[in-house]
Structure 1
Amino acid sequence: MIDRTAVVGSGYMGGGIAQVLALAGREVALADVSAEVATASRERVIREAGAYASRGLWPADAQERVAEHVTAAPSMEAAVAEARFVEEAVPEILSVKHDVLGRISAAAPADAIIGSNTSTIRIADLATAVAAPERFLGVHFSNPAPFVPGVEVIPHAGTDESLVPAVIDLLAASGKVGVRVADVTGFVLNRLQYALFTEAARLVEEGVASAEEVDLIARTTFGFRLPFFGPFAIADIAGLDVYEFCYGSLSAAYPDRFQPPHSLTERTARGEKGVKSGRGYLSTPPEQQPELVAYRDEAYAALSALLERLGPPPVQY
């Protein structure tokens, strides 16, 4: 079991990652550019844990557990000296990350796993700064780290394969869902997120809808489904033949922006239309459709009730 960890970079993301690991009972050495910054960050994450607990978002003893397990290290080298797992969470600047990763890999035990919280930089481009790069991989938490469950786990071509399940197990013990993805710029999360933002911005620029209207439509239509079903499950439920038809309309109007994916047209050509045919991107059989519909209806009703209780988000347009 990975019991001793370190987080280098104690800002908002690094601090949240430290809280997550501490609540899972791991010892966490927190480091930054100076001992003073690390100490101030430790005090902040302890206060935040208490605030989360007082709001019922975390266990009642969260503040005590974070205080017990998180220590402020006098230096990066001291933080990683006995760590089994180190998470680098410094700013998204290649030169900065190279410098920090070089220092971490020089000071950490030879068998320590080193992860980077980079959100877009290819792991192979960071690995060049790491001594023994086979122990290095991407471990990309989402903002806010204490509450978003998914974490991208990104090995580069030279990563020791045994590290991937070890990191996913550590994440699972911390209440997170580790998902292995390939080492490409932007990985999965940000390629999807920025593709959506690009089209949303175009809609506003073209005068189709205001920013407020686009946000409202996204939240109350397809975005409403996303906590429960990913894009492939949604397509299979709707019907891949329906998607193909809609792509025809979109590609006729916007040929430079919308073309049906080859994987879609290949499936429909084989008669694979999703749930109604028993095969699409997934393999949900038609006889499971009543169970799927029942789950969907209960999930959407529960989310509606939650949103009704919370009210609209406090953002200003």
Structure 2
Amino acid sequence: MTENASSAAAPSIDAAGAVNAARKIAVVGSGYMGGGIAHVLALGGARVALADVSAEVAQKNYDRLLAESDEFVAAGLFPESSTEILKKNLWAAKDIEEAVADADFIEEAVPELIAIKHQTLARISAAARPDAIIGSNTSTISIADLSGPVAHPERFLGVHFSNPSPFVPGVEIIPHAGTSATTVGAVRDLIHAAGKQTAVVKDVTGFVLNRLQYALFHEAAQLVEQEIATAEDIDTLVRTTFGFRLPFFGPFAIADMAGLDVYNFCYKSLQTEFPERFATPKILSDLVDAGKLGTKTGAGFLNVPAERTPELIAYRNKAYVAMQKLIDELGPAPIS
């Protein structure tokens, strides 16, 4: 498992570095999230400047990232060359202005307070090249609201990594209404070259990742408050049932495989107790009314052809067995 984990978490410098080698990147905010993002981009081959409120803080976090890299290598999580690649590609700048002066892409990763972000983005915008792309790692703040201090806002967008950045593969890309398509494409290319996957979503409150994450948490918290189940039992159910599927299939693929007519019926059942909270989504009822019931009819949310159903089921079964083997190998998380 170590070999596969290493190649997935840290793309080879030969594969990704050749694409990113000419790129100069700055990450402003060198804490846990910013440092992790810098780690990803530097390991992906780009030359990355790390900046913070002072040169001392940036240097301290640079040293921390190298020490963490050594730990990841010792644990078999990253290739043996990882720390040397970081030493070659990552550097601590004396201030924001030095870090961004010649950068092609700048990622802001300061605390999630709009006043601090505005102040930081104003400094970045004033010191960066006018054609440099600027991203924010905000998880909830409107990208349009953040864009105010940025000159040439068409080059500004949200680039939202997840915690912990070196290990979580997905990155949420959030253009605001004025972001250019060229900017979006360039950022996706940069992120892909660092071995991550991207999804482009609209600039709405909470974007997509956190709307989904907090919707689940909200329902789970109500179940605990109403003494329907304990937090421990809810976590067990999520991990061992629908959560067990999620590394392989998103909610629409799962619905298609279950049958959209089944989902439609279940919504009606839920509505007997929660008519508003579980109102049937129109997009679902429209598909059911049109006879598009998922994989069994060859049309649904994802339109998987019916003849591919046996192949899909075979993949699903193999994936779930592999997941259980991995869980058995790792053992239970050290929570309780």
TM-score w.r.t. structure 1 length? 0.98
Matches within 5 A, 1:33-52: 33-52=53-72
Instruction: Using the TM superposition, name which of 173-182 and 220-229 deviates more.
Output: 173-182
1:83 paired residue number:
103
Distance 1:204 1:270 in 2: 38
Distance 1:229 1:165 in 2: 25
2:278 paired residue number:
258
1:23 paired residue number:
43
Which deviations, in whole Å up to 9, do the C-alpha atoms of 1:248-274 show, x marking residues without a partner? Answer: 110111123211100001110111100
Distance 2:149 2:253 in 1: 39
Which deviations, in whole Å up to 9, do the C-alpha atoms of 1:171-224 show, x marking residues without a partner? Answer: 111010011111111111000000000000011111110000000000000000
- Answer yes or no: is the 8 Å Cα contact 2:158–2:173 preserved in 1: yes
Matched residue SS, 1:277: coil
Q: Which amino acid aligns with 2:217?
A: F
- Answer yes or no: is the 8 Å Cα contact 2:257–2:295 preserved in 1: yes
How many residues get paired? 316
Distance 2:245 2:217 in 1: 18
Distance 1:122 1:245 in 2: 36
Unaligned segments of structure 2, at least 5 residues: 1-19
Matched residue SS, 2:292: coil
Tell me whether 1:143 sits opposite 2:163 in the alignment: yes
1:271 paired residue number:
291
Q: Which amino acid aligns with 1:62?
A: S
Quick one: which of 8, 11, 14 aligns to 2:34?
Answer: 14
Q: Which amino acid aligns with 2:258?
A: A
Unaligned segments of structure 1, at least 5 residues: none
2:193 paired residue number:
173
1:218 paired residue number:
238
2:15 paired residue number:
none
Quick one: which of 309, 324, 331 aligns to 1:289?
Answer: 309
Shift of 1:24: 1.0
Distance 1:245 1:179 in 2: 31
Distance 2:160 2:221 in 1: 26
Matched residue SS, 2:77: coil
Which deviations, in whole Å up to 9, do the C-alpha atoms of 1:123-156 show, x marking residues without a partner? Answer: 0000012111111000000000001010011111
Sequence identity (%): 60
- Answer yes or no: is the 8 Å Cα contact 2:29–2:52 preserved in 1: yes
TM-score w.r.t. structure 2 length? 0.93
Q: Which amino acid aligns with 2:260?
A: L
Matched residue SS, 2:66: helix
Instruction: Point out 4+ residue stretches in structure 1 off by more than 6 angstroms.
Output: none
- Answer yes or no: is the 8 Å Cα contact 2:130–2:151 preserved in 1: no
1:133 paired residue number:
153
2:12 paired residue number:
none
Tell me whether 1:66 sits opposite 2:78 in the alignment: no
Quick one: which of 79, 96, 117 aligns to 1:97?
Answer: 117
